[in-house]
C-alpha cells in the first residue's frame, strides 16, 4: 500500500467518497474506429475512472508516489508516459528500457492497484465492430459512456465533469452537449443529464497521470472482453481488469 495512503487518510478518502461535491471522469480510448475488414481493430473501447474533487491532491499524490516507486525499481522516469500500448510492446517512452514482460506487467498492476484506492468508480465501454452497429463506433461508445455518467450523477446526486485525452474534441463536446438535454437509457425512457457540468476538458495524456491511468483501464477492459492469445497474454490479460474491479465499483458495457 502506498505510504501516502495511511489508514487515517484512507478513512478520509472513504468519507469523501460517500458524498463528493463533484467527480472528475477521466477518459481515454484504445483500439480504433476503422473498418475491421480493412485492418481496423476488432473493438473500440473507452476506459473511464472517476476521481472526486474532495482530496483530489491527495489522490494525485498517491498515484505520483506509485510512479516514484516504479522509477526506483524499474528506472521509468516520472515524466515518461505510461500507456498500455507502450507496456504491451515496449515502445515510445519505454523503448530500449530492457524491461521484460514480468516487469512490465508489474508496472501495469501497480497503477491499477493504486487506482482502486483513489478512484470511486471505473467504467469500460467496449464496442464490438464485428457486430451490426446502429452508428459509427465512436458515437456508440461515447453515447454509452455519457449515459452511464448521467445515470451515476442522478443516482448519487452530484455533478460530474468530463476530462478526456485530446483529439476529436469537437465530436466529444457535441455529444456531451446533446446529453445535457436528455440521455437515452437504452430502454423506453430518458435520464436527465443536467448534472454533467461544463464542456468536456481535453488534456494531453503525457501531462496527466489520471489520463494515462484511463488508458490502462481502457486496455484492461478490452482484454476482459477479448482475451489475448497465449503469446500476448504476459503483460495484460483478462485478469488485469480484476485488479481495479476488486477495489471499487466497476462496470463493463459491451455494445
Q: State mean pLDDT over 23-50.
A: 91
Contact 163, 210 (CB under 8 A): yes
CATH of span 7-150+163-250: 3.30.420
As a whole number of angstroms, the distance between CA 111 and CA 71 comes to 13
Q: State mean pLDDT over 42-51.
A: 95
pLDDT of residue 185: 45
The residue extents of the domains of the chain are 7-150+163-250
Cα–Cα separations (whole angstroms), residue 161 to 123, 130, 205, 245: 15, 32, 17, 22
Q: State mean pLDDT over 238-243.
A: 92
pLDDT over 60 (residue 232): yes
pLDDT of residue 102: 94
> Which of 61-75, 109-123, 214-228, 235-249 is predicted least confidently?
235-249
Of 218 and 167, the structure prediction assigns the larger pLDDT to 218
pLDDT over 90 (residue 53): yes
Q: Residue 220: left if φ>0, alpha if ψ -120 to 50, beta else—which one?
A: alpha
Q: State mean pLDDT over 44-70.
A: 96
What confidence tens digit (pLDDT) does each residue in 90-130 have?
A: 878 888 888 999 999 999 999 999 999 999 999 999 999 88
pTM for this prediction: 0.91
Cα–Cα separations (whole angstroms), residue 52 to 9, 29, 56, 69, 230: 15, 21, 6, 24, 38
What confidence tens digit (pLDDT) does each residue in 59-74 have?
A: 999 999 999 999 999 9
What confidence tens digit (pLDDT) does each residue in 133-177 have?
A: 888 999 999 999 999 999 999 899 999 999 999 989 999 999 998
What number of CA atoms fall less than 13 Å from residue 101's CA on the CB side? 8
pLDDT over 70 (residue 36): yes
pLDDT of residue 248: 61
Contacts of 224 (CB under 8 A, 6+ apart): 124, 126, 238, 240, 241, 252
pLDDT over 50 (residue 58): yes
Q: Place 244 in a pLDDT band, splitting at 50, 70 and 90.
A: confident
Of 178 and 50, the structure prediction assigns the larger pLDDT to 50
pLDDT of residue 231: 66
Kind and range of the H or E run holding 140: helix 137-156
What does DSSP say about strands 23-31 and 160-165: parallel, antiparallel, or unpaired? parallel
As a whole number of angstroms, the distance between CA 137 and CA 106 comes to 32
pLDDT of residue 127: 94
pLDDT of residue 189: 52
Contact 236, 222 (CB under 8 A): no
Longest dimension (CA), the chain: 54
What confidence tens digit (pLDDT) does each residue in 174-213 have?
A: 999 888 776 544 444 556 677 888 899 999 999 999 999 9
Amino acid at each position: 500500500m502506498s505510504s501516502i495512503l495511511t489508514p487515517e487518510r484512507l478513512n478520509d478518502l472513504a468519507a469523501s467518497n460517500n458524498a463528493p461535491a463533484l467527480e472528475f471522469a477521466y477518459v481515454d480510448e484504445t483500439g480504433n474506429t476503422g473498418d475491421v475488414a480493412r485492418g481496423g481493430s476488432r473493438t473500440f473501447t473507452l476506459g473511464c475512472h472517476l476521481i472526486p474533487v474532495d482530496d483530489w491532491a491527495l489522490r494525485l499524490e498517491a498515484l505520483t508516489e506509485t510512479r516514484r516507486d516504479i522509477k526506483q525499481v524499474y528506472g521509468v522516469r516520472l515524466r515518461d508516459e505510461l500507456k498500455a500500448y507502450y507496456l504491451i510492446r515496449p515502445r515510445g517512452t519505454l523503448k530500449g528500457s530492457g524491461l521484460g514482460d514480468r516487469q512490465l506487467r508489474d508496472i501495469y498492476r501497480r497503477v491499477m492497484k493504486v487506482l482502486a484506492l483513489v478512484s470511486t468508480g471505473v467504467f469500460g465501454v467496449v464496442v464490438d465492430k464485428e457486430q451490426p452497429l446502429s452508428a459509427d463506433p465512436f458515437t456508440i461508445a461515447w453515447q454509452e459512456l455519457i449515459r452511464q455518467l448521467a445515470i451515476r450523477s442522478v443516482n448519487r446526486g452530484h455533478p460530474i465533469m468530463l476530462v478526456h485525452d485530446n483529439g476529436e474534441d469537437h465530436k466529444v463536446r457535441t455529444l456531451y452537449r446533446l446529453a445535457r438535454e436528455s440521455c437515452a437509457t437504452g430502454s423506453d425512457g430518458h435520464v436527465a443529464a443536467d448534472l454533467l457540468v461544463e464542456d468536456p476538458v481535453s488534456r494531453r495524456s503525457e501531462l496527466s497521470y489520471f489520463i494515462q491511468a484511463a488508458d490502462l483501464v481502457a486496455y484492461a477492459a478490452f482484454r476482459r472482453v477479448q482475451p489475448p492469445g497465449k503469446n500476448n497474454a504476459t503483460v495484460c490479460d483478462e485478469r488485469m481488469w480484476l485488479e481495479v474491479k476488486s477495489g471499487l465499483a466497476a462496470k463493463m458495457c459491451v455494445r
